[in-house]
Amino acid sequence: MAVERWFNAAGHLAGPVDPPLRPDTREPFGLDDFARVLPAAAGAQELSADPWLCVPGEVLRVLRRWRPTPLVRAAAMEAALG
């Protein structure tokens, strides 16, 4: 069974993670900045504090087609984390 959501460690921290800074201005990256270097969905995931993020459909299709072994949930790790 293929994993359909990514685990986002930032969503489980006590407080928010500082955003990455633009190297030219030292200001926080925003969605517009990420759009220059990443697809929109990847930029949104990068800034998200949600504990679980949906794997984009196109990524799932590629994983299912080309991955030599199935990508499965780490159930034991999830249980250990609570």
| Digit-coded pLDDT (tens) for 9-45 | 988 899 888 888 999 999 998 888 888 888 888 888 8
C-alpha 7/C-alpha 4 separation (Å) is 10
Q: What is the pLDDT of residue 2?
A: 63
pLDDT digits (tens, 9 = 90+) for 64-73: 777 666 667 8
Q: Domain residues of the chain, as ranges?
A: 5-81
User: Which CA distances in Å does 17 have to 52, 57, 82?
Assistant: 16, 27, 21
**The pLDDT value given to residue 52:** 93
pTM (predicted TM-score)? 0.59
Entry field: residues in the chain: 82
pLDDT given for residue 28 in this prediction? 92
pLDDT value of residue 31: 84
pLDDT at 41: 82
